[in-house]
Amino acid sequence: MKKLIVTIAVFVVGNFSLAQEIIPISKTQLETKSLDQNLQIRLAEKEIQLAQTELLAARAAYLPNITASYSFINTNSPLMAFGTKLNQARIEMMDFNPDLLNNPKSINNFNTKIEVQQPIINMDAVYMKKAGEVKTEVLKIQAERTKEYIRFELKKAYGMLQLAYKMQETLEKAKQTTLTNKKVIENYFNNGMIQKSDVLYMQVRVSEIDSQLQMAKSNIQNASDYLFFLLDQDKTNKILKPTDALEFQEFFSNNTTNISDRKDVQAYQKSLEAYDFMEKASQSKFLPRLNAFGSFEMNDKKISSFNGNGYMAGLQLSWNVFDGLKSKSEQEKYKAEKLKSQTEIEVYTKKSLLEISKAQTQIVDTEAKVNFSKQAWEQSQEAYRIRKNRYDQGLEKSADLLTAETLMSQKELEMQQAIFEHYTAVEYYKFLSS
């Protein structure tokens, strides 16, 4: 019954893995893929759209404000009653009777009115509009930097996928070697040449490799899912497989790095312009403002008639003489915020240069690690070959052979891990330097 359950479980798991569509992908294909659907990039674009929408409100500094209204009143106020009849264009001689002027009858009025306000010169609104335009440009630059970061994340994730497949390949090769040795050891045991413990040690090693293989397969799935996430693609029953092998490539970095052209630094520098415009906007609140205004209205005692009409038009020149130092406080606030941003830029720049220097050191360290681990792997291979030959001649214990094989497999995995770390360090340095 137990064997039957195990067989069914293996069959189900096997069918599930077969149901996954394996999609080959190269590094070149990955670099040419569009990132428009990436969630972080879409979020950055939405922030740009939001800033552009907010910028539309600045049009109020140039475009007219037009309102229309329709209202009804009933009054017996002497002044309002006379004025209403005058607006309705129906004043007669009898309306000048003192008794009627002092004690008028209630009167109805239906008023239709259109009002127009046209800004002409409002310098504070002009400067605030320019500050909004700078903010939009800053967000566009930051969105470009986000794309560069996602490109780096794609390369890193592709390297993780390469490493996961390489580890699986290494472990499968180690398993075949172990199974071959296990078969020989079982023959020796059946012939009474070795003890049962030697066979058990070999079975433990096979189980250990199986466990590592399961972890490698999980790492493949996780790396593939992360790539699908970065591309915002459906990962259901799909798994990616790299067509390029993870290989070590020497890299020579330039010690004189200029980050002034980097998108994030450009965005920081550009943001300072916004503070200049906001400070000018605050100063401009004391400048005269020139606005035009006008209205056209129709009045009648009947709801559907529009007999009496008239218009009014004019210009208004106004200025704020004193606002309780509110504008002065704003100016000082913007100056302080600009100085703070300048300090933040200096800190950010120096920190970025420190990160680049650290990345350069990491490249050197990982390159040395690759060379050392490669040398250790080659030495472990030779040590295993010698142990195997001596074991075949009956000069070594099975435990020593198992130790040599385990060490050889471990050193190969360490070498692959070192190659990935070097690859990641190089790509991170490129990202920081561009």
**Predicted confidence (pLDDT) per residue in 26-47, tens digit:** 999 988 888 888 999 999 999 9
Residues 6+ away with beta carbon under 8 Å from 324: none
Angle at Cα 315 formed by Cα 313 and Cα 320, nearest 5°? 140
Residue 430 CB partners (closer than 8 Å, separation 6+): 152
Residue 140 identity = K
Q: Contact at 8 Å (CB) between 380 and 404?
A: yes
Alpha-carbon Rg for the chain in angstroms = 40
Average the pLDDT over 258-282 and give the result. Answer: 91
Nearest one of 370, 372, 349, 371 to 425, comparing CA atoms: 370
The reported pLDDT for the residue numbered 19 is 66
Query: 317 - beta bridge partners?
Result: 290
Write the pLDDT tens digit of every residue in 63-87.
899 999 999 999 999 999 999 999 9
Across the range 322-333, mean pLDDT stands at 85
Domains detected in the chain: 25-433 (1.20.1600.10)
Beta bridge partners of 24: 241
- Report the C-alpha gap between 22 and 241 in whole angstroms: 7
DSSP H or E segment with residue 253: none
The average confidence (pLDDT) of the chain is 89
For the entire predicted model, the pTM comes to 0.80
Distance between CA atoms of residues 198 and 200, nearest Å: 5
**Residue with structure tokens 């790095």?**
257
Cα distance between the two ends of the chain: 63
